[in-house]
Amino acid sequence: MTDSLLPDEIVKLARRVIEENAVAGRKISLAESCTGGLVAAALTEIPGSSAVFDRGFVTYSNEAKEQELDVKSDIIETFGAVSIACVYAMAQGALEHSEADVSVAISGVAGPDGGTDQKPVGTVVFARAVRGVDEPEAELRNFEASSRSDVRRQAALCALELLLP
């Protein structure tokens, strides 16, 4: 379908995100952890994405989440980086530090190591923050952990879906 670095299914969905947000007049931002900028890369594969995509934060370490997105250390200490509380704070921080109307945050355990009984490999949490809306939207997903890249691919697709108007 495309001449892209990324899988066709990701690029196709990223195109929809850019086109539909352009029509809606919305700017978007991202706060990525386990996807390491994959969602931002997908969005910037699309010509004209600069009209919609404001910026992305790749905050892989806990310190980066605290410094770049104002995630409180007690949230990470209490709930962990892979938690609804953390990703919601990440999404809010990305919104506050951007010109975006909507922000999506992603954090998870891509593997092959790092999983626990409570948060096994494949556990990914997402949050969406919308400017002017106080009600948080967040979800925890458990993806089939066949490989690190597969968890990241599934997480990127889910994040892109959350960016659709």
Tell me: the pLDDT tens digits for 60-115? 999 999 999 999 999 999 999 999 999 999 999 999 999 999 999 999 999 999 99
Q: How far is CA 50 from the centre of its chain?
A: 18
Q: Phi and psi (nearest 5°) for 122?
A: 105, -10
Q: Which fold has domain 8-163?
A: Maf protein (3.90.950)
Tell me: the pLDDT tens digits for 125-145? 999 999 999 887 999 999 987
Distance from C-alpha of 99 to C-alpha of 66, rounded to nearest angstrom: 20
